Amino acid sequence: MFLTLGLRVLSLSRTFSTSAVASFPKLKTHQGAKKRWKAISSGAFKRAKAGHSHLNVSKRPDRKNRLSQLAYSSPTQTAILKKAMPYS
């Protein structure tokens, strides 16, 4: 649809933003990493240690205490996890 005003021709067709096109394709988050790791404010990641849920009778108390603490990602792991979880 065009509208003529004197010598000017104005187009009334809708223009669409192209900003969304630049971000394609969308990146998928690795589901296993999402379930195990949480991002912290420093940019690193934290996780719970495995082996604290069952068969605890044969484990020493100091070992159970260590297993209940958090584990943090090393710099190498952080680089891998940032690719695996791009939106965290």
For 48, phi and psi rounded to 5 degrees?
A: -90, 150
What's the CATH fold of domain 27-88? Factor Xa Inhibitor (4.10.410)
**pTM beyond cutoff 0.75:** no
The two structure tokens encoding residue 58 = 């044969």
Strands 2-5 and 45-48, by their bridges, are: unpaired
The percent of residues above 90 in pLDDT, for the chain, comes to 70
Q: What is the mean pLDDT of residues 4-16?
A: 61
Q: Is the pLDDT of residue 28 over 90?
A: yes
User: What confidence score (pLDDT) does residue 24 get?
Assistant: 77
Give me the residue spans of the domains in the chain. 27-88
Q: Which two tokens stand for residue 37?
A: 């790791």
